Amino acid sequence: MAEQRLATVLNVNDDDANRYLVNRILEMSGYHVLEAATGMAALLMAEKHRPDVIVLDVKLPDISGYEVCARLRSNASTASIAVMHTSATFVTPDKKVQGLEGGADAYLTQPYEPSELIATVRSLLRLRHAEQQARLRTDQLIEMDRRKDEFLAMLGHELRNPLAAIMTSIGILERKGTADTREARMHGIIQRQTHHLARLVDDLLDVSRITRGKVELRKEPLDLVESFQQVLSILRPRVEGRGLKLEVRLPRTPLWMEADATRLEQVFTNLLDNAAKYTDQGTVTVDLFQEGVDGDAQAVLRVKDTGIGIPPEKLPGVFDLFSQVDTSLERSRGGLGIGLTLVRTLVRMHGGSVEATSEGYGAGSEFVVKLPLLPPERVPRLAGANVVDTRRARRILVVEDNADARQSMRDLLELWGHQVAVAQDGVQGVALALEHAPDLALVNIGLPGVDGYQVAAALRAGVGQHLRLVALTGHDEPGAYEQALKAGFDLHLTKPVRPADLDRVLSNL
């Protein structure tokens, strides 16, 4: 075989006659042979020549073959070389175990037949070839995974920019209103489908990072009731638009927990959207309430539907990635099969649990989420007491290179009564800020030339600390939030920014 003739074997033995005999056997079988008489010489030759196999006698004049093998394995450059121990004396089982446990791949005791030596070398070469192929494949998969992450990050940026412009424009149309019923209906369709598309983009980009633990939660005290109501205001038209009845029972008092508001909204959105998607007619029922008291208190969210249900064989895997109840060719339900995976992962990251139950096809399904609540001594006491009127006119600077996103943001802010200056790049943005001294600057991170981080540093140095800086980005990579704060931003928002979220930012200035 060609790989055998080209293979190199290092023969390590201090007995000249024995070493010569083994050399001849290997050479006659087509191998290139190197030799060494001591353990230290063997280590040097292994480092220099990187043989495919080392035939290593256990008893050497300087250090034992066991020690040589251990040093080979501890060195990254020689760790993958196949090692076969040999011994000219009777070897007890415990010595073989010591050699194999120490890193050897095979162990032969002399006298042995030449055919046994060659067969063992061939076996080790096959093993080494398989390991090399596996290592190569692993390296290829790692590189493919890296490129996939880069592609998804760029995809997110490219998709979120047009979505940002569309979503902001929808906000303007909603504020202006229309007396035309058909036009109002079209506005509603555009709004629902844009929000749906934005959620699919977020889920697609998040699932890889979240399932690998590459997302850090930005936790702060949060009222679950208020957070769920915000989701409900967006999803109610979508649910009822499918001809379904939506029954919601919420507590009259807040339910406070430490959570990432964006991620919890993802959980709520996926659960409600999932219930509506798999229900052709009937009712989606939502109950949010508290169980337990004080330190053991937890919030319980139940989302129940009268939909197609989940068959028993699919219930255990309903939270698995790409798992879907509807596997028919027409795929009339839509979706990517990743929403419930995100729900389970995000709930667990918040210290909670989620489970699904169903009596089978046609019997509907129920999802129950449990989340830990803050103890009474940690509940915010002044939350919501100092809300600023967003109608107060402010000087706002928008630095955005995407023309549609820049114009739609300007139109929305001016519709709200603010004075707005816009810049298409960082240099122009810094110049306008120094000239007009805005109260707030909305700065896109991915600007050409001078990026958003550099703009933030220049604005902090030139305008001062009173200026409120908000970072806008289509790249939602791990560490982006911390990097934005370090650069001088006060807030970090991921595109597309919903008008309601922008309104909240202005309220909390």
Q: Supply 71's token pair.
A: 């040093």
Nearest to 61 by CA among 47, 44, 42: 42
Can you give 390-429 as a three-state secondary structure string? CCCCCEEEEECCCHHHHHHHHHHHHHCCCEEEEECCHHHH
Distances in whole angstroms, Cα of residue 314 to Cα of each of 13, 95, 310, 318, 361: 62, 52, 7, 6, 11
Give residue 35's pLDDT. Answer: 94
**Partners of 471 in beta bridges:** 443, 492
Contact 41, 19 (CB under 8 A): no
| CATH numbers and ranges of domains, the chain | 2-112 (3.40.50.2300), 216-377 (3.30.565.10), 395-507 (3.40.50.2300)
Is pLDDT of 330 > 60?
Answer: no
Residue 479 DSSP one-character state:
T
Q: Are 194 and 167 contacting, i.e. CB atoms less than 8 angstroms apart?
A: yes
* Residue bearing the bigger pLDDT, 389 or 371: 371
Shortest CA distance to 10 belongs to which of 67, 69, 59?
69
Give me the pLDDT at residue 100, please.
85
What is the arithmetic mean of pLDDT over 122-141? 88
* Range from 133-142, 296-305, 317-326, 441-450 carrying the lowest mean pLDDT: 317-326
**pLDDT at site 36:** 95
Query: How far apart are the C-alpha atoms of 325 and 311, rounded to whole Å?
Result: 8
Q: What pLDDT does 4 receive? A: 44
pLDDT at residue number 335: 53
Q: Percentage of the chain with pLDDT > 70?
A: 86
Asked which of 13-22, 147-156, 347-356 is least confident by mean pLDDT, the reply is 147-156
Q: Is the pTM of this model over 0.85?
A: no
**Residue-wise pLDDT tens digits, 64-108:** 999 999 999 999 899 889 999 998 765 677 777 888 888 899 988
SS (H, E, C) 333-402: CCCCCCHHHHHHHHHHHCCCEEEEEECCCCCCEEEEEEEECCCHHHCCCCCCCCCCCCCCCCEEEEECCC
Measuring CA to CA, which residue among 322, 401, 397, 307 is closest to residue 360?
Answer: 307
Question: Which DSSP symbol is given to 15?
Answer: -
The mean of the pLDDT values for the chain is: 83
Please state the rounded mean pLDDT for residues 8-31.
Answer: 92
* 386: pLDDT strictly greater than 80: no
Q: What is the pLDDT of residue 449?
A: 85
10 or 161, higher pLDDT: 10
pLDDT at 146 over 90: no
The pLDDT, as a whole number, for residue 298 is: 94
